[in-house]
Amino acid sequence: MTQEEIKCPNCGGNRYEYINIKTVKCLYCGTTFIIQNKQKEYEKAEREKEADLFLAELGKDIKQMKTENDLFGKQYQASQSEKRYANFILILIVVIIVLILLINIV
């Protein structure tokens, strides 16, 4: 950052000395202030944007998985219903055969 980019928020002066890596002191009025790092702000905004996109994609994936799970559940229920029906028919056939055999024996 050049000196022209950093201006005192109190007096607008552009002469300063560094107190530490983020803080400077205006040589005109003595005000101490934190310098803004535009690159870090930009990088933070980019990370937040990437995180938002990731969360949006994750939300889509979760919705798709839920839909697939619902479909699988419906297919499973239909399969179970078909199995119960087949078992009922099998038991009915066995009962009819037993009744026929009992009638023929008597």
Residue 1 neighbours by CB distance under 10 Å: 10
**37 has a pLDDT exceeding 80:** no
Range of the domain at 13: 1-36
- Our separate counts of H helices and E strands in the chain read 1, 3
pLDDT score for 42: 63
Q: Which residues contact 13 (CB under 8 A, 6 or more apart)?
A: 7, 26, 27, 28, 29
Total structural domains within the chain? 2
Q: DSSP secondary-structure letter at 48?
A: H
How much is the average pLDDT of 33-41? 73
* 41: confidence class by pLDDT, cuts 50, 70, 90: low
Residues 13 and 51 in one domain: no
pTM: 0.38
Q: DSSP secondary-structure letter at 19?
A: S
Q: State how far the Cα of 77 lies from the Cα of 71, in Å rounded to an integer.
A: 10
Residues 50 and 89 in one domain: yes
* 31: confidence class by pLDDT, cuts 50, 70, 90: very high
How much is the average pLDDT of 6-29? 89
Q: Which two tokens stand for residue 75?
A: 């297919």
Residues 78 and 27 in one domain: no
Residues 31 and 50 in one domain: no
Q: Which residues contact 1 (CB under 8 A, 6 or more apart)?
A: 35
pLDDT score for 97: 92
Residues 27 and 46 in one domain: no
Q: State how far the Cα of 62 lies from the Cα of 50, in Å rounded to an integer.
A: 18
